[in-house]
Amino acid sequence: MAKELDVVIQQVEERQVELIQLVERLVRFETPAPPARNTAEAQGFIAEFLQERGFEIDQWEVYPGDPNVVGILKGQAPELYKSLIINGHIDVAEVSSDEPWEAGPFTPLVRDGVIIGRGVADMKGGLAGALFAVQLLGEAGIRLPGDLIFQSVIGEEVGEAGTLECCKRGYRADFAVVVDTSDLHLQGQGGVITGWITVKSQQTWHDATRKSMIHAGGKLFGASAIEKMMKVVQGLQELERHWAVMKSYPGCSPGTTTINPAVIEGGRHAAFIADECRLWITVHFYPNETYDEVIQEIEAHIDRIAQSDLWLRENPPTFNWGGSSMIEDRGEIFPSLEVDPDHPGVKALKAFHELVLDKPAMIDVSATVTDGGWFGDAGIPAVIYGPGRLEHAHAVNEQVSIAQLIDFTKVMLKFIYAWCRTER
């Protein structure tokens, strides 16, 4: 490692007060989602921060009041050297008015070696550490041969894929690091998709006709959509158990593939037979699966159940999968991300982690989901690597270790410097 970088690495600890202040500055921007539509000021700060350090800025609204910010630091010889995306989301988990915070969710508190505040673990700590690494490299006059792309995106907490919008806009690199909550593990992830299953009658019947549907000789071919949805729920439970027995993935707990019947809506009035019932499900799947494959499995299973039921055969369930926002259209997709431990980017990040922390790096699978899956979906090699423990994310008095934040910043300094000097 070049001597010029050694001096910069030393400054992380020497100037840790500035790093802490940067975390505090980000926390003070109130960006909970929901309600969302509140990140413009915070994103403006990040855009200005990057622009002052030589980045070209691309900023656009994904939703009103919620812009993405992409900073591009052009390398000196980008055609010869590797490029890197650093990615993080500026939105944080929602806050209830009755939560007993020590100070306040957006009033950062430093004590006992931690920073407390909404988003410090998920994931303004990671954003701040990466930004501080960029700042120190720039102040040292260190130029990178390869391109460095910094993405501060919106909407991750509510399934609004700011990162997907970056991919659609054409941003690509040889490797991407999503600096989200991972306790400094190098992680992939399973995926999540939500879906609506609808059972709907072709006709609407008065409540008084029920006797003709359920008794011998009634001769009325009708049914309650709510009661027929019960068969669908039972079928989903059978498929979920089958997956638990037949599917597995290294690093994931048995039965991680789940189908959660989260919300059910049905019927219109007590004087009617329920003519429609809608079920909202959340499906978790493994890193080596795609949401398209999982959708096909579920639909095929439910279709077979429908074919075995005389009424459902004539009134088959319909499906509506995913969505661009849990706020706007009550749906979301988080693709899976499978990490290749032999990829040069993963091996380099692992090596620098072990150099800084002087202990083995953990390569495993996140128990939750992040925007990392969008890079996998776009064919961009990626890994999740950031400070903060999952049990602190979304929690009252959310916190991040200052020591871990310093370690993370050192690792990112070394990795950015080395990766953007790696020949293609």
Task: Specify the pTM.
Answer: 0.95
Do 244 and 257 meet the contact criterion of CB atoms below 8 Å apart? Answer: yes
Q: Is 67 exposed, middle or buried, given 0-12, 13-18 or 19+ CB atoms closer than 10 A?
A: buried
* CATH code for position 74: 3.40.630.10
- Would strands 191-200 and 318-321 be described as parallel, antiparallel, or unpaired? antiparallel
- For the stretch 321-380, pLDDT in tens is 999 999 999 999 999 999 999 999 999 999 999 999 999 999 999 999 999 999 999 999
37 token code pair: 């539509």
**What's the CA gap between 162 and 324, in Å, rounded?**
10
358 token code pair: 């002087």
**Does some domain include residue 9?**
yes
**Residues 131 and 214 both lie in one domain:** no
Q: Could you say which of 321, 353, 375 is where a domain stops?
A: 321
**Residues 216 and 79 both lie in one domain:** no
**Residues 224 and 200 both lie in one domain:** yes
221 token code pair: 């071919």
**Residues 76 and 165 both lie in one domain:** yes
**Residues 100 and 9 both lie in one domain:** yes
| Residues belonging to the chain | 424
Do 123 and 179 meet the contact criterion of CB atoms below 8 Å apart? Answer: yes
**Does some domain include residue 228?**
yes
**What's the CA gap between 67 and 64, in Å, rounded?**
7
DSSP secondary structure letter of residue 51: H
Enumerate long-range contacts of 213-222, CB under 8 Å, 24 or more apart. 213/273, 221/311, 221/314, 222/273, 222/311
pLDDT, residue 3, reads 82
Q: Nearest 5°: phi and psi at 272?
A: -120, 155
**Does some domain include residue 13?**
yes
In single-letter form, the type of residue at position 356 comes to: V
Q: Looking at residues 286-307, what average pLDDT do you find?
A: 98
Say which residue the tokens 């219109």 belong to.
268
Neighbouring CB atoms inside 10 A of 290's CB total 16
Do 194 and 331 meet the contact criterion of CB atoms below 8 Å apart? Answer: yes
pLDDT above 70: residue 389:
yes
**Residues 140 and 226 both lie in one domain:** no
**Residues 278 and 406 both lie in one domain:** no
**What's the CA gap between 31 and 25, in Å, rounded?**
12
pLDDT, residue 29, reads 98
**Residues 176 and 72 both lie in one domain:** yes
**Does some domain include residue 424?**
no
Percent of all residues in the chain with a pLDDT value above 90, rounded to a whole number: 99
**Does some domain include residue 329?**
no
Do 414 and 208 meet the contact criterion of CB atoms below 8 Å apart? Answer: no
Catalytic residues: 91, 156
State the average pLDDT for the chain.
97
Q: Looking at residues 217-242, what average pLDDT do you find?
A: 97
Q: Could you say which of 267, 290, 321 is where a domain stops?
A: 321
Contacts (Cβ under 8 Å, ≥6 apart) of 48: none
Report the domain count for the chain.
Answer: 2
pLDDT, residue 2, reads 72
**Residues 37 and 134 both lie in one domain:** yes
pLDDT above 80: residue 399:
yes
**Does some domain include residue 103?**
yes
**Residues 111 and 39 both lie in one domain:** yes
**Residues 116 and 91 both lie in one domain:** yes
pLDDT above 70: residue 1:
no
Q: Could you say which of 321, 345, 363 is where a domain stops?
A: 321
**Residues 108 and 250 both lie in one domain:** no
**Does some domain include residue 120?**
yes
- For the stretch 18-59, pLDDT in tens is 999 999 999 999 999 999 999 999 999 999 999 999 999 999
Contacts (Cβ under 8 Å, ≥6 apart) of 342: none
* CATH code for position 305: 3.30.70.360
Residue numbers of the domain that contains 402: 3-189+337-419
**Does some domain include residue 376?**
yes
